[in-house]
Amino acid sequence: MGVRIGGFGPCLDGFYDPSLQVQMNVYARTAEQIDAGRAANDSLRTAEDVRARQKILREYADSALGGLPTDRPVPVARLTGTVTRPSFLIEKLVLEMGSGRLVTANLYLPRNTGEPTGAVLFLSGHSEAGKAARRYQSFCARLARNGLVVLAIDSIGHGERQSYLDSAGREEVRPNVVEHNHAGVQCWWIGDTIARYFVDDARRSIDYLCARPEVDPARIGVAGNSGGATQATWLMLAEPRITAAALGCFIMSRSSYQWSGGAQDAEQILPGGAHIGIDHEDFLIAMAPRPVLVMSANYDFFPVEGAVDTVERAGRVYRILGNPDGLGHVRVDHPHGLRAELGRAATEFFVRHVGDDAAAPVDHAAPEPIPEAELQCTASGQIRLDHPDVNQVFELNRGRFDLLRSTRSSSPTQWLTDRVSEQRRTPAEFFARWQPSQRHRVGAVELVSRKAVWWSEVDVLSAGVLVRPAQEPTTAVEIACFDGGTEELADRTTWLAERAGRGIGVLALDVRGVGALAPHPINPFPLEENYGTVYKLMTDLIWLGDSLAAARVFDVLRAVEFLGQEQLTVLGTPPIHFFGTGAGAFFGYLAAAIEPRIRRIELETPPLDPESVVQNRLHGPQSMWQHVIPGMAVHCPLDDLVPEFSGRDLHIATPDT
């Protein structure tokens, strides 16, 4: 096969194990913020203290959600059919939520209620059947049989609201988790969160309930399980009309879940929430003193020990506000899911807090399941097929993108620099570890290679292989970021020799999480795909108001600094170039826009274009999600960086070249 210049062996050839470094960096920073939030909550002593903390939480929610509309019409309901049962009636509805949005819903109406009664908004978890899933319809039917109105909606990507179907009904993107993240990445690129649309659907559903003559608007509860409980916690931060809440299989603590390696959907990520120390106890604190029932499964993947700790800590706030019994916790010996025992506990809870008679006996008989098709609100079973022009998250987010561009930063490069450099902790020096040089002959070209590792941050290593002509002088040194990092070196040997033949030295660079610095898997999903290790770490960084891509751009900038250190005087002071391909083209383009010392930039593939992701309904692959820098599509479009390359040599390949 001839000479092949290789990269690093295991553990950087025995120098250091970098496989946990991104995880440990992220977890340590997260722990600092969680500890700060817990300390803030521990300092609450009076009702006034609590109200001040609640104000901070509400302001955060409003900001994170992009400011929700306050002046909105009551949704118009299209009645598409009814289902009759002895003790209740179900109206099958399509709710017109405004902005071209349609939501499928089942309204459970108890018979013979007389005066307006309490109501519960039910938000389903991740189920392809959505509101019609057997456990969920059983939960709603039990409440209705006990005299409560229940509105069960299909949340985004659930039930009849799959967003990514072609005209023949074939899935283009899988529903539920994958759909949420596919659309959620597009929301992050413009600085929004997809939770905005979940919350707005839920708030407008409350608007509808409050307008129904059967409902007492002063008695509105919300219930959710798993992903539905996630939505309910957002409501607890943002919606003052909620009288009581029951949360199934979600409440825990961030610290207990952190080490599980479990990832979460885009709507479950609170962008920048770590900056004010938000943890699950804060959802409960925001709701206090209004009653909340936390429902846990002891064998859940959401750690029950986190739920116990969270309820105990938030319970102190309920005592401060004079409602020591307002926060309850029920546990069952089951895995994840809304089990019948939890449904019975929630029924008792809602009868007591939003029902007509808190002392009334509760009917716990198991409801007869209704076939899913009977609860269907659309003719085809999908809103998108019955109403192809409906606006879903993609269309709504694209509209927001057009709106937000009027607020874009006046200095895109400074905006990018801030995103890249903020929150970094650099050491006093690089503390480089150099390995002995090796000589190679590729054809007629003699090369020298030398491996090195150095500290990009105090707890994050970078690694590189310097390949230069054996004979001086070196006319330029080129930082090369390949898509697979230094693991591509062997296949690039001829390319390296061609560079050396022109007097160009190459520093093949591994930024964090790439090549020899790839992370150790912390969950069973494919490393760079949905819910995988890189996705999980990327979303943890979004919690911190940071991003993995910004940190990788920082690593490129640190490599420029590294090239100027005395260990590289063998190179002299040649100009610095950059070569990138795949993800490396994106990092390098951004780094070069910030760093004028990079005099020549060659991108073998075009850099990822955030605006293209926002504007295209189907984008991908999933491995590209990790490159999101929240807000960049609005505040720092690629085209706005072009002036930074004036007077420099920029070459970007087109797809046809």
Q: Dump the DSSP string for 28-85.
A: HHHHHHHHHHHHHHHT--SHHHHHHHHHHHHHHHHHHTT---SS-PPPEEEEEEEEEE
Q: What angle do CA 491, 7, 571 make, to 5 degrees?
A: 100
Tell me if 47 is assigned to some domain. no
Tell me if 27 is assigned to some domain. no
Tell me if 412 is assigned to some domain. no
Same domain as 482, residue 399: no
Tell me if 411 is assigned to some domain. no
CA distance 17 to 638: 35
Which amino acid, residue 427? Answer: P
Question: Computed from CA positions of residues 377, 378, 384, 387, in that sequence, does the dihedral angle turn out positive or negative?
Answer: negative
Which of 347, 378, 406 terminates a domain? The answer is: 406
Same domain as 521, residue 493: yes
Same domain as 438, residue 396: no
Tell me if 21 is assigned to some domain. no
DSSP assignment of 134-146, as one string?
A: HHHHHHHHHHHHT
Secondary structure letter of residue 608 according to DSSP: P
Tell me what pLDDT residue 1 has: 46
Tens-digit pLDDT profile for residues 66-100: 888 777 889 999 999 999 999 999 999 999 999 99
Same domain as 443, residue 366: no
CA distance 69 to 88: 34
- In terms of C-beta density within 10 A (0-12 exposed, 13-18 middle, 19 or more buried), how is residue 64 classed? buried
Q: Residue 642: give its domain's CATH number.
A: 3.40.50.1820
CA distance 108 to 137: 10
Output the CA torsion 586→551→184→611 (10° steps): -30
The residue segments making up the domain with residue 608 are: 419-651
Tell me what pLDDT residue 656 has: 62
Q: Which helix (H) or strand (E) holds 92?
A: strand 88-98
Same domain as 436, residue 401: no
Tell me if 116 is assigned to some domain. yes
Tell me if 43 is assigned to some domain. no
CA 177 to chain centre: 11
Same domain as 152, residue 61: yes
CA distance 617 to 612: 10
Max distance between CA atoms of the chain, in angstroms, equals: 95
Percent of all residues in the chain with a pLDDT value above 70, rounded to a whole number: 98
Which of 406, 429, 462 terminates a domain? The answer is: 406
What is the number of structural domains in the chain?
A: 2
Ramachandran region of residue 405, left (φ > 0), alpha (ψ -120 to 50) or beta?
A: alpha
- Which residue ranges of the chain lie beneath pLDDT 50? 1, 566-567, 657
Q: Is-contact 301 250, C-beta < 8 A?
A: no
Same domain as 361, residue 458: no
Same domain as 424, residue 399: no
> Tokens 């930082």 label which residue?
479
| Tokens coding 596 | 């004028």
Tell me what pLDDT residue 569 has: 56
Tell me what pLDDT residue 416 has: 98
Which of 379, 406, 433 terminates a domain? The answer is: 406
Q: pTM (2 decimals)?
A: 0.96
Same domain as 165, residue 223: yes
CA distance 564 to 573: 8
Tell me what pLDDT residue 508 has: 98
| Tokens coding 233 | 């916690």
Same domain as 372, residue 309: yes
- In terms of C-beta density within 10 A (0-12 exposed, 13-18 middle, 19 or more buried), how is residue 355 classed? buried
Going by DSSP bridges, is the β-strand pair 433-434/327-332 parallel, antiparallel, or unpaired?
A: unpaired
Tell me if 33 is assigned to some domain. no
Tens-digit pLDDT profile for residues 448-504: 999 999 999 999 999 999 999 998 678 999 999 999 999 999 999 999 999 999 999
HSE-CB at 464 with a 13 A cutoff on CA atoms is 27
Same domain as 427, residue 335: no
| Helix, strand, or coil (residue 299) | coil
CB neighbour list of residue 221: distance below 8 Å, 6 or more residues apart: 118, 119, 120, 121, 148, 242, 243, 244, 245, 246, 350, 353, 354
| Helix, strand, or coil (residue 96) | strand
Same domain as 286, residue 163: yes
